[in-house]
Amino acid sequence: MWFFSSPQIIFGEDALDHLEELPGKRAFIVTDPVLDSLDFTARVRGHLTAAGMEVQVFAEVEPDPSIQTVRRGVAQIAAFQPDWIVGLGGGSSLDAAKGMWALYERPDLEPEEISPVFDLKLHKCKLVAIPTTSGTGSEATMYVVLSDPEQRRKISVGNRELIPTLALIDPSLTSQLPPRVTADTGLDALTHAVEAYTANFRNDYSDALALKAAELVFCYLPRAYEQGHTDSEAREKMANAATLAGLAFGNSLVGMAHALGHSFGGYFKIPHGRAVSLFLPYVMEYTANAGGSRYGEIARHLRLTDGDDEQRGARILIDATRSLEERLGQPTSIAAMGISPAALEEALETLCAHALSDSAILAAPRMPAGDELERLFLYAMEGKEVDF
């Protein structure tokens, strides 16, 4: 027995207009200061006002939102009592909105106590997620990643009731994304698709979504990166790819690239997508070395090969992933990120401990043993092919 969960998804040109159909009296927008200074918040506010709602804006979400930020938002929500919380932004704003939703409804819980094994019984308000990047998939999942700056780590929690009520995927919101953000977030989507397809929690439903998402990323991410300002088709396809990949991992799980990426990104302050996609090819090599990885199936779906040999197919997909990352100008080693061997060495014990206790490792198809985690970090430092 397993579940498939999804928000109601409204996608395509003018999807934002749907805000005018929402019932209710008050809406609370959660966003970041940059989006607030552009016209994004104004557009959303305009639609909500047209729906007859009073609107309040919380525009204080920082990258990798902290528990403290979430608590500040909760205090305002409790005073405003909205019918809708509207998360507007990249993964940080959407996660912050989900975190606020949970803690507003359940002030009795500490953030770390949110878990998928009991019912939250949310009933006070609903959540709309409006992504302005194409990558995290947060608009489609139950997961919330918050940071704990005091401990230099991230906490990752989730509950099925935190899947947004509505996800509005309007490609006009991503048309002006800078190339670096396009690459980071697009590769996050690819990492979601690949890890969802190979995680032990995978199922027929998540498989279908993962394959389509991977296909869209390989086809459209280079275009969105290279000519995104004018290529609206590439933007629309990447927006859909991100949500499909979110649905895929939300109903399966991510894997070790995320465990290593969360740990590494939290410690060295590297954006999520860049951190997880850095580790993706290394983790794929590590997983494929044990055999039976299913990467070959993805390679076949992408028509990178028509052969049945899983090991060879896996190699082809790993090489294609590295080529894509190089084409997008992504760093493919820790050294290329400007982190010295000494800095990594000093962090290594903490990095391994955090990666091993990350819930992303839960359904990894190959579980690291002995010093393998440490070696994975060291191989990624040097950009060395994983041979164990």
Partner 1 sequence: MGAKFPSQAWADAMKEAVNSSEAYAAAAKNWEGDFYFVVSGSEEMIYMDLWHGQCRDAAYTTDPAYKTPEFKITAKHDQWVKVLQGKLDPIQGMMTRQLKLDGNLIKIMQNVKAAQELVGCATQVDTEF
In terms of CB distance, is 90 or 171 closer to Zn ion? 90
Sign of CA dihedral 110, 56, 137, 65: negative
Return the H-helix or E-strand segment holding 312: helix 310-327
Residue 342 or 369 with smaller CB distance to partner 1: 369
Single residue of 37, 115, 151, 176 touching partner 1 by CB under 8 A? 115
Residue 3 touches which of partner 1, Zn ion, none (Cβ within 5-8 Å per kind): partner 1
Q: Is 324 exposed, middle or buried (0-12, 13-18, 19+ CB in 10 A)?
A: buried
**Does residue 144 interact with partner 1 by CB under 8 A?**
no
The residue (of 235 and 274) whose beta carbon lies closer to Zn ion is 274
Least distance from C-beta 67 to partner 1, angstroms? Answer: 14
* By CB under 8 A, residue 205 contacts partner 1: no
Q: Residue 256 interacts with partner 1 (CB under 8 A)?
A: no
Number of residues counted as binding partner 1 (CB under 8 A): 19
Residue 317 or 360: the one with the smaller Cβ distance to partner 1 is: 360
Q: Which of 21, 356, 382, 388 binds partner 1 (CB under 8 A)?
A: 356
Q: Cβ 275 to Zn ion, closest distance in Å?
A: 9
Of 36 and 161, the one with the shorter C-beta distance to partner 1 is 161
Distance CA 293, CA 313 (A): 10
Binding mask 2-21 for partner 1 (x = CB under 8 A): xx------------------
User: Which alpha helices (DSSP H) does 7-84 contain, by range?
Assistant: 33-37, 40-50, 67-80
Which of 8, 227, 323, 357 contacts partner 1 by CB under 8 A? 357
What residue 188 binds from partner 1, Zn ion, none (CB within 5 to 8 A, per partner kind)? Zn ion
- DSSP reduced 3-state for 55: strand
Of 256 and 381, CB closest to partner 1: 256
Q: How many CB atoms lie within 10 A of CB 188?
A: 32
Among 13, 14, 112, 326, binds partner 1 (CB under 8 A): 112
Residue 2, SS3?
Answer: coil
The CB-of-144 to partner 1 minimum distance in angstroms stands at 14
Question: How many angstroms separate the Cα of 277 from the Cα of each of 73, 81, 104, 261, 274?
Answer: 31, 39, 33, 8, 5
Binding mask 302-341 for partner 1 (x = CB under 8 A): ----------------------------------------
User: Minimum Å distance from CB 65 to partner 1?
Assistant: 19
Q: Which is nearer to partner 1, 19 or 144 (CB)?
A: 144
CA atoms within 13 A on the CB side of 123: 2
Residue 268 touches which of Zn ion, partner 1, none (Cβ within 5-8 Å per kind): none
Angstrom CA distances, 343 to 278, 352, 371, 373, stand at 17, 14, 19, 17
Identify what 356 binds: Zn ion, partner 1, none; CB under 5 to 8 Å per kind.
partner 1
Residue ranges binding Zn ion (CB under 5 A): 188
Least distance between partner 1 and beta carbon 2 (Å): 6
| Helix or strand run (H / E) with residue 224 | helix 204-227
Binding partner selected for residue 338 from Zn ion, partner 1, none, CB under the kind-specific 5 to 8 Å limit: none
Mapping DSSP to helix (H, G, I), strand (E, B) and coil, where does residue 175 land? coil
**In the numeric block, which tokens belong to residue 369?**
């043993």
116: contact with partner 1 by CB under 8 A: yes
Estimate to the nearest angstrom the gap between the alpha carbon of 337 and the chain centroid. Answer: 21
Q: Where are the alpha helices (DSSP H) in 85-134?
A: 91-105
CB 379, min distance to Zn ion, A: 21
Given a contact cutoff of 8 angstroms between Cβ atoms, the answer to whether 92 and 131 are in contact is: no
* Cα–Cα distance list, 313 to 87, 305, 307, 384 (Å): 39, 7, 7, 20
Let me know the angle formed at the C-alpha of 227 by 262 and 248, rounded to the nearest 5 degrees: 40
> Where along the sequence are the contacts to partner 1 (CB under 8 A)?
1-3, 112-113, 115-117, 200-201, 356-357, 359, 361-363, 367, 369-370
